Structure 1
Amino acid sequence: MSGWTGRTAADIAEAVRRGEVTPRQVVADHLERIRRLDGRVNAFRAVLGEEALAAADALAAHPGLADLPLAGVPVAVKDNVAVAGHAVRNGSAASPAAPAAADHEAVRRLRAAGAVVVGLTHVPELCVFGTTDGDHGITRNPRRPDRSAGGSSGGSAAAVAAGFAPLALAADGMGSIRIPAAACGLLGLKPGQGAVPAGLGPNDWYGMAVNGPLATTAADLRLAFRALAGGPDPAAPAAPPAGPLRIAVSTRSPFPGVPVGRGWAAAARDSGRLLAGAGHRVEAAHPPYPAWLPAAVLARWTAGTAADAAACDPARLAPRTRRHAAVGRLAARTPLLRTDHRALLRERLRPFFDRHDVLLTPALAGPVPAARAWSRRGWTANLLTNTRFSPFTPAWNLAGWPALAVPAGSRADGLPYAVQLVAPPGGEEVLLRLAAELEEARPWPRTAPLD
């Protein structure tokens, strides 16, 4: 790392507010790192370059610069979120090429907080799967380039893990923030439904898809979340909930028959012990996941893709995407989408969360797949692979509850472990508090050593 790359968002913003560095210098340092190293990672579909430098210069003249919580902080944006003047390609040559007329509200809020958008990051076609590859090539994991960066926010996670930007805007419909966060050794927050502006497609995958941040520290994640939520002043000191929390640790897969790797289960139990050491009341307990959960999330995942695909040229979609959308059109004709499974799931989980404030699980059930052209493989192979390594994330998209991925040590081969924290609606600050406590108890390497 050199110059201002490798610094936290909080450190950069403080230095810019104090006049120790200009926004242009910060942005220029990150653009130079992208230029040198992204050929090895393939995080970005488009690097904004001169546009980002011009935005940095405009920011330097902002009359309220000294009060901006993200002053001069470079941010990468997932390429399914509108950035004014650029097409939202959503990982597909079949998507409309017309440039967006305005920023998405989430992007607007980040810019209003002082952030500078440096580029648009790669996603798998229509953000469907948990690996990031396609016509744009393969987005690689900066921790282990022979492994995928995860998905669908793989480009955003790779950009942060590689030190190309300290923050990234991502989106999560089935785990698409938490999966790549876990794969790349980052923190990733899926906010609860309504906490952050969504608007990611015709129906946001039937309400399962939301925007959220990726970061390397809990403090940075809190800054980004507060800016996106438009809530309390993100620059103000955090006031996390006080007192011990009741934490349930579960290593049981929500999807029957999907095994959980021994190391991933151990990472969850070890994290529980750390939180117990911090004064929380921790016990092993398993949520009562309903037997219909896999069918309910599959129906919304596929039918949401079918709605997104309706705006695309079908002849240019990859075969696995066409198959996924076709399954979704069939699902839309069944009672699965006419049943309020969100309400049913929340009601089923209510007694469990009456007894526990937070659920802690492994973030994944196994390591992220190899970096290969998964987009050229069949639909069934992709479906089975995604289900086997990531059964823990989709339930919380269906419930619409906040969930957060946190690094939890490393395997012998250098790939990270990670855990998932879940809370009922409104629990984002509770999760951020626990993430900070885990960070203090077991620090992790913030960025990959690419230099």
Structure 2
Amino acid sequence: MTLLTAVESAAAVRSGTLTAVDATRAALARIEAGAPLGAFQVVRAERALAEAAAVDARADLSALSLAGVPIAIKDNIPVAGEPMRDGSAATSAAPQSADHELVARLRAAGAIVVGITRVPELCVFGTTDSVYGLTRNPWNPERAPGGSSGGSAAAVASGQVPFAHGNDGMGSVRIPAANCGLVGIKPGKGLVPQDIGVDAWLGMSENGPLATTVADAALLLSVMAGRPGLASPVEPSKPLRIAIAAGEPSPLVSLDPEWRRGLAETADALRGAGHLVTEVTFPYDPNPLPLLARWFAGTATDAEMLDPARLERRVRVHARLGRIARRAGLLKDAPVDRLRARVHGFFADYDLLLTPTLAQPGPVAGGWHERGWWANMISNIRYAPYPSTWNLLGWPAASIPAGWHATAKVPLAVQIIAEPKPDGAAEALILSLASQLERLRPWPRIAPGFAE
């Protein structure tokens, strides 16, 4: 069966030229063929086929925006009847009693949940391996797909599903999107229901889509947000003021020349399209404590009711630092408010900001869950320092492909950021520019070897 985009698949099911059952069977066959990548924690073969048959029988089939489209859900939000392990041996194997609100919205729109994707333990770090197994990057299986939505990204980049759910607390949608050549969106605060872990890492974590095309990502985001207008992005109708920031956010970071090139070539394409493009120095916060304290404390809260003896060593250390951060009063809002005001002032002169999504290619796949906390921290900080500022502020940001790293044999990507606006207008602006870049600088949808 031809590998359809989500938009194409839904249209075919609505028109009657494809059934939801056939679309689901095709996805399940691809999941079986792609098993060596380790993308899935649970494959719901029988249940998915039964649910697809129910979608085919729905009286409102012709009106369903996601009619019969197979989708994967990240293993840290509930899917009724399935366990939610969150990458940890310390969590319960009992089936969840009800769907997360997002899963309910996806099902109501006609999507078929074919499986649940792997994550690192408690979704803390930017690689995807745990006691349950190792997930690999379809573009280069010797490298990690990123994390924590690495299973979802690997599933989409290998064509096992046309799009997938992810969530993003420190870059966990955008990091694997960048590694795997996908479109990944972290919406701004309040657009999409959260309910991730205990407190969504003090509100920093957002649910969002991973897809191979801007149109598919927009469609999925529109259902997640309950805003149908987001499903049809339109290229900018007038020149935009776009800031290009290639500077490193931290002295610990060195931007790989190939990642710098990906941003520069994207900037050139935007200039050629008539946008007002300016190279800038972005005012990153030199004090990492407000961000790190929330990352640590969110982990501590999620681990609070779990048996520490069954947690990985790196996660135990992270949680312990979170408890210290709470006792030390490092979670105050004032430093974040000051940073938000400074960045708001910066955006007075620009409509959008573009940065590299990553500073370095994703690390080599294998065994990160068995390594110490410090090794994981240094790896994460050095290779993925750009996304987390926008979690701290609650601003929308997306990653889109931007070329090819010939040495590491993985895709490049740029990050697009907008200041929040009411009713999803900022996300619509990001999708608008992403659509134009997809036309100006098209990317391969699926990793080589998985397209047929």
TM-score tier by shorter-chain length is: over 0.9
Give the counterpart of 1:162 among 138, 158, 169: 158
User: Does the 8 Å contact 1:241/1:429 carry over to 2?
Assistant: no
Aligned counterparts of 2:430 and 2:6: Cα–Cα separation in 1? 19
Cα shift at 1:290: 2.1
Amino acid at match of 1:279: G
Distance change >3 Å, CA 75–CA 344, structure 1 → 2:
same
Aligned-pair identity in percent equals 51
Whether the 8 Å CA contact 1:96–1:312 is kept in 2: the answer is no
Q: Which residue of 2 aligns with 1:77?
A: 73
Aligned length: 445
Q: Secondary structure at the match of 1:335?
A: coil
- 1:328 and 1:291 map into 2 onto residues whose CA distance is 20
Residue 145 of structure 2 is matched in structure 1 by 149
1:301 to 1:250, Cα distance in 2 relative to 1, 3 A: same
Task: For 2:246 and 2:318, locate their aligned partners in 1 and report how far apart those are by CA, in whole Å.
Answer: 29
Aligned amino acid, residue 18 of structure 2: V
Q: 1:234 to 1:397 in 2, by over 3 A?
A: closer
Which residue, 227, 230, 245 being the options, matches 2:226?
230
Tell me the CA shift for residue 108 of structure 1: 1.1
Aligned to 2:428: 429
User: Partner residue of 2:277?
Assistant: 282
Name the SS of the counterpart of 1:266 in structure 2: helix
Match of 1:391 among 380, 385, 391: 385
In the TM superposition, what whole-angstrom CA distance separates every residue of 1:14-65 from its partner, at most 9, and x where no partner exists? 1111000100000001101111221x20000000001000110000111111
Aligned AA (2:82):
H
Structure 1 residue 241, shift from structure 2 partner: 5.5
Displacement, 1:68? Answer: 1.0
Give yes or no for contact 2:242–2:276 (8 Å, CA) kept in 1: yes
- Alignment of structure 1 residues 167-206 onto 2, 5 Å: 167-206=163-202
Match of 2:6 in 1: 9
Question: After TM superposition, what 4+ stretches of structure 1 lie above 6 angstroms from structure 2?
Answer: none
Where 1:148 maps in the other structure, the secondary structure is coil
| CA-CA distance at 1:339 after TM superposition | 3.1
Alpha-carbon separation, structure 2, partners of 1:253 and 1:234: 32
Match of 1:127 in 2: 123
Aligned residue identity for 1:280? H
Contact conserved, 2:252 with 2:382, CA < 8 A, in 1?
no
Does structure 1 conserve the Cα–Cα contact (< 8 Å) formed by 2:290 and 2:336?
Answer: no
What does residue 441 of structure 1 align with? 440
- Please say if 1:344 is aligned against 2:341: no
Match for 2:296 among 293, 302, 311? Answer: 302
Quote the residue 2:315 is aligned against: 321
Q: TM-score, normalised by structure 1?
A: 0.96
SS at match of 2:98: coil
Structure 2 CA distance for aligned equivalents of residues 285 and 259 of structure 1: 17
Q: CA deviation at 1:234?
A: 6.1
Inter-partner Cα distance in structure 2 for 1:120 and 1:148 = 18
Structure 1 window deviating more from structure 2 (138-147 vs 266-275): it is 266-275
The one-letter code sitting in structure 2 at the alignment partner of 1:47 is V
Post-superposition offset of 1:242: 3.2
Distance across 1 between alignment mates of 2:156 and 2:343: 34
**What one-letter code is carried by the residue in structure 1 that aligns with 2:289?**
A
Q: Secondary structure at the match of 2:402?
A: strand
Equivalent in 248, 253, 268 of residue 253 of structure 1: 248
Give the corresponding residue for 2:374: 380
2:217 is matched with 221
CA shift, 1:86, in A, is: 1.1
